[in-house]
Amino acid sequence: MGLFSNSFREGSIKYSRHALFFLLLACVLVLSACGENQRTPEEENILIYAALNPVTDKLEKSIARFNEKHEDVQIEIHDYSDEGGRERLQTELVLGQVPDIMELRCYGKAGEDVWDPLHGDPLPGSYTGPEDGYFMPYRQLAQRGYLEDLWPYIENDPDLGREAVLEAPLEAAEVNGGLYMLFERVEIFTLIGRASVVGDRYSWTLDDMMDAYAAMPEGSTIMRYNMTKREVFYNLLCNSLEGFVNRETGECTFDSEGFRSLVGLLETLPDEVDYEKAQEAEEEVMRRIKNGTQMLEGMLLYWPRNICRSDSIFQERAAFVGYPTADGSSGSFFYQTGTVLGMSSTCRNKAAAWDYIRQMITPRLRKTESSIIASDRSIDTPINLNDYEALCWYELYYMADTVRRYPEDPLKHYLPNRHFQYGPEIYLMDFLTEKDLQRHRELIDHTTQLYWPEDELSDIVWETLGAYFAGDRPLDDTIRLLESRVGLYLNENR
C-alpha cells in the first residue's frame, strides 16, 4: 500500500538465495583483486562490459558510439541478465575473468521505471523487484581493492572536476574516502513534517523527535498509523547499519547511543496492524495528515518542485528532518537511479574505460531548451551540476509559463500530484520560487547517506532484535548477542 507495498513486505525480507553469490565474491576478491585479467593477446584491446540488467537499445547505441570513436580499443557487452547469468558471472570471477566495466545494480525484470512519479511516491526498495533484483556488495568490493577509485578521474577530467558535479551524492557513496561507483541521477528519501511542529531543520535526534511528538494531540502517531516495526526497519533503518560495522577489522559498535536511538524509534511503532483495503487506508492517512494527528510522512524528492509538493501535503511549510540519529546528523539518504557503474582495478585500459563511464555525468542540458523536461536525465536530479541548474531554471520557466497562460487560476492548471496510489490529487499550494530552490540545494548538501542495503546483515540484525521486541530478552543482552552474531558474520566474510 502506498509507500509500503504488499509485494515489498512479502518479498524483501529474505535474500538468502543470494548468499552463495556474495560468499563466492568474497573468495574471488581475495584471489583476484590484486591480480590481472586472464586474457589472450587478441583480447588485449577489448574492454568487457558486464550488463546485469537487460541490454537496451540505449546501451547498445552508447557502446556503438564509443567503438566508432576508439579504433584502438573496443567495448564488448557480456550479458548477465538472463536466467543463470549471475551464477555465470560469479564463476568467471572465480576464474579471474574480471570485467573492466560492471553494472553494480540490477533492477530485476520489472526494470527501473515501474512507477509513475506523478501518481504515487513509493519508498526506495518497494518497487525495485527484490525477488529478482539485487545490489552488488559494493562496499566489500571497494574495501578489498576490487574497484577503481573514480575521484581522481573526475578531478583530472578537463570537462569536469569536483566543481562540475553535485558532490554530496558522490561523497555519500564514498568508501574510506574513495569513490568506487558512478551513477547518473539521484532521488532523496526523507521524512517530512510541519516545520511548525518538528522545527525548520534538516536533521534531528531521537530526543528532538520525542519532544515534538509529546506536543502532538492525543491519539497522534509519529508516522503512518499502519506502519510496523518491520516495515520501517527494512524500508528505512537497515540502510544505516553499515555505520555500526567495520568490514576491514570485523568489529561492530551496536552498543552505542546511535544504535539504541534506532531501536528507540522502532519501539514507538506497532508490531502488527490489521491492514484495511489500500484505498481506505490511504484515505485515513491523508485524513490524519490534514487534522494534524500524523507527525511525519515519507517523501521521495526527485525534482526540485517536490519542495512545493511537500508543503502542499501539509498545507504549510514542510521540514525535511529524516529519521532521528544519535548525533543529529542527516537521517535522509540519496537513492541512485539510472545506470550504476564501477571500473575494475584490473582494467586493462582505464583511460578508455573512463572515457565511456564519464558520459553519465557530462552536461547535456541547456537553459535555452524549452523541452528540457523531455531529456532522459530530467526524470530525477542529475549529478552533473550544469544539468541540475538547467533543471532548476526550467522549473521556474515552466511555472511562470503556466501563470502566463492561465492568469485566472494558474495553480489549478498546473499538473497535480498523487502522493498516494489511490488517494486524491494534490495541487501545489504555491509555485516554486528561488527560495524553494535554495531549500532543495540545502537538502542535497545536508544529505550524507546513500541507499545501498546489505541484505544478510539486515536479516541478522532484525532476527536478533525480534526477541527484544517480543519481551523475551533485555536490550543489553540483545546487543551483546547482536555484536557476537554480526562479528562472526563479518569475520567469515573478510
SS3 category, 254: coil
363-372 in b/e form (b: 16+ CB < 10 A) is bbbeeeeeeb
Task: Please tell me the distance from the alpha carbon of residue 235 to that of residue 1, in angstroms, as a whole number.
Answer: 13
pLDDT of residue 415: 72
Neighbours of 65 (CB within 10 A): 12
pLDDT of residue 13: 34
pTM: 0.83
* Whether 447 contacts 299, CB under 8 Å: no
- For every one of its 494 residues, what pLDDT tens digit does the chain have, with 9 covering 90 and above? 333 333 223 333 333 344 445 555 555 444 444 445 555 545 678 999 999 999 999 999 999 999 999 989 999 999 998 888 888 887 887 777 789 999 999 887 656 654 444 334 555 544 333 456 788 888 888 988 889 999 999 999 999 999 999 999 999 999 999 999 999 999 999 999 999 999 999 999 888 989 999 999 998 999 888 888 888 888 777 777 888 888 888 899 999 988 998 898 888 888 887 666 667 777 888 889 999 999 999 888 988 989 999 999 999 999 999 988 878 889 999 988 889 999 999 999 999 999 999 999 999 876 555 455 444 445 689 999 999 998 898 888 888 888 888 888 888 877 777 777 666 778 888 888 999 999 999 999 999 999 887 778 888 999 999 999 999 999 999 999 999 999 999 888 77
Angle between helices 455-469 and 257-267 (to 10 degrees): 60
* Whether 402 contacts 410, CB under 8 Å: yes
pLDDT of residue 473: 94
Neighbours of 231 (CB within 10 A): 22
pLDDT of residue 292: 94
pLDDT of residue 417: 74
SS3 category, 283: helix
The dihedrals phi and psi of 330, each to the nearest 5 degrees, come to -60, 135
pLDDT of residue 180: 97
* Whether 431 contacts 410, CB under 8 Å: yes
Sign of CA dihedral 233, 236, 239, 244: negative
Do β-strands 74-79 and 46-51 pair in parallel, antiparallel, or remain unpaired? Answer: parallel
CA distances, 422 to each of 1, 286, 426, 430 (Å) = 9, 11, 12, 23
Task: Please tell me the distance from the alpha carbon of residue 381 to that of residue 358, in angstroms, as a whole number.
Answer: 17
Among residues 361, 340, 347, which one has the least CA distance to residue 73? 347
Task: Please tell me the distance from the alpha carbon of residue 450 to that of residue 171, in angstroms, as a whole number.
Answer: 9
Strand boundaries in 354-432, DSSP class E: 381-382
Task: Please tell me the distance from the alpha carbon of residue 136 to that of residue 318, in angstroms, as a whole number.
Answer: 35
Cα Rg, the chain, nearest whole Å: 23
Task: Please tell me the distance from the alpha carbon of residue 141 to that of residue 75, in angstroms, as a whole number.
Answer: 22
pLDDT of residue 425: 77
